[in-house]
């Protein structure tokens, strides 16, 4: 594959400044330029983008700057013969650190005190409310880059870590690995269930009313995967009924989450606007991946993170 232009689509601005991404990609012999929706592409182009566009199928290769590529029509890429790569592998610190933040907030009640701070409210949570993460069980669903990062941090905090992965193979810092068909058993004893899997046909709606019913009533759900992995109505009903203790949601069914959505002021929920992976070095992490693949393409080698 001969790449003679790297076109950075303006949609990357959803994750990092466009100019920073263009600058970070400079340095090889391949010219880099920012492009908008009026651009056209040819077989010498690599497109770096946040969002898909049909016209990208004319390029040689499209790099999505997120780990999830559920918005891209993989079959269309395969038919067109256009390579598609994703950004799996760079979120092993950011998202797991955010997850540690949610777990710590729930256990130490930080979200409650932050909500009260504006009212200069000195009220203490009930005696039975705070707990320690040490000794609590977390079930990590999906043991890829993010899931392993969560498992490593949870183990370092003295948590009892179990996980779910398709192969069922052992994973570092995970005491017991379940397969997806054992999901109910995996979440049953967990104080925290952390979703770190991709959105696929198999995972869409995976966390439904029945699974939420299986969870402990003092358990917390964390979704840093994709919104539709969880059944929205079922989660809202479980939170309203106190069937689970709370949920931290970074990924939502509709983004931005509508202003009128009940989760915004649900006292058992922590809502973040899909920022678990944010970092002021995102452009550098993406540029390193793209540049490695430009070199691989030049040498005629297969692309890293190729999904189509």
Q: φ, ψ for residue 187 (rounded to 5)?
A: -85, -20
Nearest CB to ligand NAD, comparing residues 30 and 303: 303
Cβ neighbors of 246 (< 8 A, separation 6 or more) are 106, 220, 221, 239, 268, 269, 270
> Which of residues 199, 239, 263, 269 is near ligand NAD by CB under 6 A?
199
Three-state secondary-structure class, residue 212: helix
255 assigned to active site: yes
- Which parts of 242-281 interact with ligand NAD (CB under 6 A)? 250-251, 274, 276-277
Classify residue 42 as exposed, middle or buried by CB count within 10 Å of its CB (0-12, 13-18, 19+): exposed
Nearest CB to ligand NAD, comparing residues 5 and 306: 306
Cβ neighbors of 140 (< 8 A, separation 6 or more) are 147, 150, 151, 154, 161, 162, 163, 164, 174, 194, 196
- Which parts of 72-91 interact with ligand NAD (CB under 6 A)? 88, 91
> Which of residues 67, 157, 161, 244 is near ligand NAD by CB under 6 A?
67
DSSP letter assigned to residue 306: B
Q: Please tell me whether residue 305 binds ligand NAD under the rule CB under 6 A.
A: no
Give the interface segment with ligand NAD, choosing from 43-51, 72-80, 219-227, 287-295 (CB under 6 A).
Answer: 219-227
Q: Please tell me whether residue 239 binds ligand NAD under the rule CB under 6 A.
A: no
DSSP letter assigned to residue 302: P
- As annotated, the active-site residues are 226, 255, 274
Q: Which residues bind ligand NAD (CB under 6 A)?
A: 67-68, 88, 91, 95, 141-147, 164-166, 180, 196-200, 202-203, 224-226, 250-251, 274, 276-277
């Amino acid at each position: 594959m001969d790449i003679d232009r790297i076109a950075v689509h303006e949609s990357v601005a959803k994750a990092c400044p466009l100019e920073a991404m263009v600058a970070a990609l400079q340095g090889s012999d391949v010219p880099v330029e920012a492009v908008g929706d009026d651009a056209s592409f040819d077989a010498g182009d690599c497109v770096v983008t946040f969002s898909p566009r049909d016209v990208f199928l004319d390029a040689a290769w499209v790099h999505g700057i997120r780990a999830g590529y559920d918005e891209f029509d993989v079959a269309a890429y395969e038919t067109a013969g256009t390579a598609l790569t994703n950004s799996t592998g760079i979120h092993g610190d950011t998202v797991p650190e955010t997850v540690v933040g949610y777990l710590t907030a729930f256990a130490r009640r930080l979200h409650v005190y932050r909500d009260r701070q504006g009212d200069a409210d000195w009220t203490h949570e009930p005696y039975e409310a705070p707990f320690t993460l040490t000794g609590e069980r977390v079930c990590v669903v999906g043991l890829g880059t993010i899931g392993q990062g969560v498992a490593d941090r949870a183990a370092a905090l003295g948590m009892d870590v179990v996980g779910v992965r398709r192969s069922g193979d052992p994973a570092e810092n995970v005491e017991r690995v379940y397969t997806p068909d054992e999901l109910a058993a995996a979440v049953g004893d967990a104080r925290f269930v952390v979703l770190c899997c991709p959105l696929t046909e198999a995972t869409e709606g995976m966390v439904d009313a029945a699974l939420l019913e299986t969870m402990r009533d003092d358990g917390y759900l964390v979704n840093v995967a994709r919104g539709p992995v969880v059944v929205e109505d079922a989660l809202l009903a479980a939170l309203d009924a106190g069937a689970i203790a709370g949920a931290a949601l970074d990924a939502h069914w509709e983004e931005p989450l509508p202003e009128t959505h009940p989760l915004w002021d649900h006292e058992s929920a922590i809502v973040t606007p899909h920022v678990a992976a944010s970092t002021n070095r995102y452009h550098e992490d993406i540029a390193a991946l793209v540049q490695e693949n430009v070199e691989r393409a030049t040498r005629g080698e297969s692309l890293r993170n190729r999904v189509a």
